[in-house]
Amino acid sequence: MSASGHPGSSGTAHTLAELVRAQWDDHSPGGLRSTDLHLTHHATAAAAAARAALLTELLPSGAEPHVGLLLDNTPEYPLWLAATALAGATAVGLNPTRRGAELARDLTHTECALLVTETAHLPLLRALEEEGLALPRTLVTDDPGYAALLRPYEGAKPGESTVRTPAPDRRMLLTFTSGSTGAPKAVVVTQGRLAAAGHALARQFGVRREDVHYLCMPLFHGNAVIAGWAPALAGGAGVALARRFSATRFLDDVRAYGATYFTYVGRAVQYLLATPEQPDDTDNPLRLGFGTEAGPVDAARFSARFGVRLVEGYGSSEGGAALQHSEGAPRGAVGRPAPGTDLAVVDPATGEERPRARLGPDGRLRNGAEAIGELVNRGTSLFEGYWKNEAADADRTRDGWYWTGDLFFRDEDGWFHFAGRAEDRLRVDSENLAAAVIENILARCPGVTSAAVYAVPDPVSGDQVMAALALERPFDPGGFAAFLAAQPDLSTKAAPRFVRVLERMPVTATNKIERAALRRTGFRCDEPVWWTPYEGEARAGGTYRRLTADDIAGLLAGYRAHGREDLLGR
């Protein structure tokens, strides 16, 4: 049965609340599944209604109805998403990989009046309290007292308890994305936009009631909510959860849940391909994976090994621009513009459209210097703004266009190809990072007189973090790694993989660090470069070693194998 057959979600549901209420009359076994729970659609709606009733009782009078969710992918996460939808409240996705002042800023900036968390994340909150932050009322979902709080509301029905009327323009979600200014921005996603996205993807992929969407990407990220949870609701499919992504557990989960669809971002596909091959890899119920940054080489390898088609797309939580994959796309292309958009690749300084890219017989870009520019949407945008950040709104929508901040080129047949991140944005393993935040942390390191952080392309997809350090003493690789591991506010994705050691930073005539020059040379520079052969090694307490000519040769071979060598040196 297609998405149009789901009760109450025939394509006319204009809010997430309507999609949740449609589950009430559906007693089929789809619903919500985890390792220790299986709820029918009806039971899922009932559990969401109970939480909506509790929410309306606990929210302080006059406060913004913002509910912070600091949770792994436990059943409580989608239940609270559904509860906020029913209540006309707003769910705030909090990233548990953020630490200290960064996490405190996320909480206070979004004005969370209620916080839902679990025991595993209580140390993060205790650290904030020790620094003097007054936390909102906090519910700990695996504490015995939580069940007692919910018990009086177990008979609640969807729609009975609201703080604001659920409407298409009601703010449903605040999800963080990082920008070049350093401070993360909270993207506004309304009930109407999220419902529309769910319907669109359910139609595009023919979501059926017998489908099971496996949510292994974190639900604080827009990918899992917009591309995984919402289309499952719209199509009447079941939802199965992985607390955290695990490459070694992936197939076991998929088989146990009968999962037919999953979403991915960043290097998830590469982590799955790195697991040992088994003769029964194709023995799985999956029919589709949807996401970004797998890369054409590994998407083909994944399909051949697991018998599962991957569909690459481009979009953002902001909703300002989207590219849709379609049949016949050349190798490496992301897709063509989504209906209703007018996308172009332009010179970010002048706004003039860039020339079309010339690709050689091997598919490699021949005129990158003139063809690569920033992707903009000159037509209608679904961007609904950032929470209390007018400057960021204006920058994103200047001159009446939506500026993505991402670099693309467009080939002669009109296909769009992703080329990287603009300026000092970095995207590492699906997480957007800001150079300024990492630089401020590195500046604390003893002996560092100046630090610059910038992206170098990952051999497969996205970016890797490189830092240039000006030092007043010789570089101590073990000491530097220990310093990183001790920083409570350093994101788990932000430890530099490459460290370039300089006597002094290159600067412009106005004494600004000349980042463009640093990016151009990357790790192939005259100065010493230290690195961790495996991403995340330093953050886990490992160390750095000198980058050798053999190391560089091995890295370049990886770039060539994935068709990304042309991205180096820009």
Q: How many CB atoms lie within 10 A of CB 277?
A: 7
Give me 243's structure tokens. 């607390």
Q: Mean pLDDT check: name the lowest of 37-41, 143-147, 175-179.
A: 175-179
Q: Tens digits of per-residue pLDDT, 373-397?
A: 899 999 989 999 999 999 999 999 9
Residue 185's DSSP bridge partners are: 177
| Alpha-carbon distances of 252 from 245, 247, 248, 285, rounded to whole Å | 12, 10, 8, 11
Three-state DSSP class for residue 386: strand
Q: Mean pLDDT check: name the lowest of 108-122, 346-360, 429-443.
A: 429-443
Quick one: three-class SS letters along 452-499?
Answer: EEEEEECCCCCEEEEEEEEECCCCCHHHHHHHHHCCCCCCCCCCCCEE
Q: Which of 12, 15, 396 is nearest to 169 (CA)?
A: 15
Amino acid (1-letter code) at residue 341: T
Query: Per-residue confidence at 33, pLDDT binned at 50, 70, 90?
Result: very high
Q: Looking at residue 4, what is its pLDDT? A: 40
Query: Per-residue confidence at 349, pLDDT binned at 50, 70, 90?
Result: confident
425 pLDDT more than 80: no
Cα 220 versus chain centre, distance: 8
Q: Which of 268, 254, 247 is nearest to 211 (CA)?
A: 254
Span 120-131, mean pLDDT?
A: 95
Contact in structure between 437 and 403 (CB atoms under 8 Å)? no
| Alpha-carbon distances of 353 from 161, 316, 378, rounded to whole Å | 51, 22, 11
Q: Tens digits of per-residue pLDDT, 196-205?
A: 999 999 999 9
Amino acid (1-letter code) at residue 334: V
Strand 238-241 and strand 212-215: the pairing is parallel
Give me 393's structure tokens. 């709104």
432 pLDDT more than 70: no
32 pLDDT more than 60: yes
CA dihedral 56, 60, 63, 64 (to 10 degrees): -30
Amino acid (1-letter code) at residue 194: L
86 pLDDT more than 50: yes
- The label of the residue with tokens 């530099």 reads 496
Element holding 57 (H helix, E strand): helix 41-58
Element holding 291 (H helix, E strand): strand 288-291
Query: Per-residue confidence at 423, pLDDT binned at 50, 70, 90?
Result: low
- The label of the residue with tokens 């595993």 reads 120
109 pLDDT more than 90: yes
Span 337-345, mean pLDDT?
A: 89
Distance between CA 342 and CA 319 in Å, rounded? 14
Distance between CA 302 and CA 306 in Å, rounded? 6
The contacts of residue 534 (CB under 8 Å, 6+ apart) are 542
Output the pTM of the full model.
0.80
| Burial (CB count within 10 angstroms: exposed 0-12, middle 13-18, buried 19+), residue 541 | exposed
The contacts of residue 86 (CB under 8 Å, 6+ apart) are 17, 20, 21, 48, 49, 52, 158, 159, 161, 162, 166
Contact in structure between 417 and 410 (CB atoms under 8 Å)? yes
Distance between CA 483 and CA 470 in Å, rounded? 16
By residue count, the chain amounts to 570
| Burial (CB count within 10 angstroms: exposed 0-12, middle 13-18, buried 19+), residue 12 | exposed
Q: Which of 570, 552, 565, 568 is nearest to 360 (CA)?
A: 565
Q: How many CB atoms lie within 10 A of CB 507?
A: 12
The torsion angles phi and psi of 145, rounded to 5 degrees, stand at -70, -20
Span 128-150, mean pLDDT?
A: 96
Distance between CA 300 and CA 244 in Å, rounded? 25
Q: Mean pLDDT check: name the lowest of 103-107, 108-112, 518-522.
A: 518-522
How many CA atoms does the CB half-sphere of 532 hold within 13 Å?
A: 22
Q: Tens digits of per-residue pLDDT, 492-521?
A: 788 999 999 998 888 754 446 777 788 889
CA triplet 452, 454, 459: central angle to 5 degrees? 145
> Of 212-216, 219-223, 323-327, 480-484, where does the model show the most confidence?
212-216
Q: Looking at residue 274, what is its pLDDT? A: 83
Contact in structure between 455 and 519 (CB atoms under 8 Å)? yes
Query: What value does the mean pLDDT of the chain take?
Result: 88
Q: What is the CA radius of gyration of the chain?
A: 24
443 pLDDT more than 90: no
- The label of the residue with tokens 């548990």 reads 96
Query: Per-residue confidence at 161, pLDDT binned at 50, 70, 90?
Result: very high
Going from the N-terminus, what domains does the chain have, and what CATH number goes with each? 3-244 (3.40.50.980), 338-421 (2.30.38.10), 425-567 (3.30.300.30)
| Alpha-carbon distances of 61 from 48, 114, 139, 412, rounded to whole Å | 22, 12, 18, 58
Amino acid (1-letter code) at residue 398: R
Q: Tens digits of per-residue pLDDT, 268-307?
A: 887 898 899 999 999 999 999 999 877 777 888 899 999 9
The torsion angles phi and psi of 473, rounded to 5 degrees, stand at -150, 165
253 pLDDT more than 80: yes
Q: Looking at residue 364, what is its pLDDT? A: 66
Contact in structure between 204 and 178 (CB atoms under 8 Å)? no
Q: Tens digits of per-residue pLDDT, 56-80?
A: 999 999 999 999 999 999 999 999 9
